[in-house]
Structure 1
Amino acid sequence: MNQPTIKLLPEHQQTILSHAESVYPQECCGLMMGYIANGVKTVVEVIPTANAWETEADNFTQEINKTNITSPTSSLKRRYAIAPQIMLQVQREARDKSLNIIGIYHSHPDHPAIPSECDRLYAWAGYSYIIVSVQKGIASDILSWSLDDNHQFQSEIIDNIT
């Protein structure tokens, strides 16, 4: 079986990296609009969003309390959330363009670009999750992940298209 792949233009990747660096030491987040053909996701548009963790954290408390994950109020430096109204707005925009939301990106300030248990807990099947490691304010690594049938993250190939 082929490894999952997400294709994006260099300018899409640069938008993600720049966003991650610009909000350091906080986590950035955003959405990726595109399409899926033959199992390959292709990004058409990257939409940076505000990190709404401080206003949305209460929506996650119940699930986090069922796990061994640290406090849900860990702060913008260790958690991210996209406001539901932004998700709906981008879903409408995608539909109007005959596209879909195909993924979410976020950063890990001073941590590797590897999904955390909290990332896994809230991940949705079918989406790509691009994670940028930002070390001392500089984006140092970018990796993409998707969930398998057991709700575990598996790496995806990031294919920069020209």
Structure 2
Amino acid sequence: MILMTFPHLNQMCNHALATYPEECCGLLLGTINNTEKLIVEVRATPNSWSLENEESFPTISPSIPKVLSKQTRFAIAPQIILQVQKEARDRALQIIGVYHSHPDYLAIPSEFDRAIAWSDYSYIIISVQSDQTTDLKSWQLDDNRQFQAENIQIL
């Protein structure tokens, strides 16, 4: 289960709306206690997807089409992840997940999302249709690298 406040929810949704029709992305900082993940901070990051990103993933899966658009792909720059990880550690927090939006698509993981996912993280996906967010779901990889829905509780 992932726990968050309304301000965290609003921050992610507002970021998704502001970047539409491109995907937004960001990191979720917090703590983990047994099976509960508590979001303490939502850190919006730039979507750094580029031609270089696409070329670095040539062998993920032949079934995943190459896409050069931020409208259907996102990437968080490694240097940003490292910086946020250090800042989180200094505050006795950790990166517990990633969020991103799916413009004009459902809040379900794509094959690309699954291919790049890390098993310890939660993945929140926000569906954005034109001028509104229509759904938000959290996902986590199981032992077979398949996404399973993760319960969300608003505090």
Q: Is the 8 A contact 2:54 2:66 kept in 1?
A: no
Structure 1 segments, 4+ long, off by >4 Å, are none
* Aligned twin of 1:38: 34
Structure 2 stretches of 5 or more lacking a match?
Answer: none
Instruction: Give the CA deviation at 1:55.
Output: 6.0
CA–CA distance in 2 between the matches of 1:100 and 1:55?
A: 30
2:62 counterpart (62, 67, 70): 67
**Residue identity in the other structure for 1:70:** P
Using structure 1 for the length normalisation, give the TM-score: 0.92
Residue number in structure 2 paired with 1:52: 48
Amino acid at match of 2:82: L
Superposed CA RMSD: 1.2
The answer on 1:91 being equivalent to 2:85 is yes
Length, aligned pairs only: 155
Q: For residues 58 and 71 of structure 1, what CA distance do their matches in structure 2 show? A: 7
* Equivalent position of 1:149 in the other structure: 143
Asked if residue 131 in structure 1 is aligned to residue 125 in structure 2, the reply is: yes
Partner amino acid, structure 2, of 1:41 = K
Asked if 1:112 is matched to 2:115, the reply is: no
- Contact 2:29-2:93 within 8 A present in 1 as well: yes
Shift of 1:59: 5.5
Is the contact made by 1:57 and 1:72 (CA closer than 8 Å) also made in structure 2? no
Q: Percent identity?
A: 51
Structure 1 alignment gaps of length 5 or more? none
TM-score normalized with structure 2 length: 0.96
8 Å contact kept, 1:128–1:145: yes
Distance 1:60 1:143 in 2: 28
1:86–1:94: structure 2 CA closer, same or farther, 3 Å change rule?
same
Is 2:98–2:123's contact at 8 Å kept on the other side of the alignment?
yes
- Whether the aligned pair in 2 keeps the contact of 1:56 and 1:83 (CA below 8 Å) is no
User: Separation in 1 of the partners of 2:56 and 2:38?
Assistant: 30
Q: Letter of the aligned partner of 2:84 in structure 1?
A: V
Partners of 1:104 and 1:128 within 8 A in 2: yes
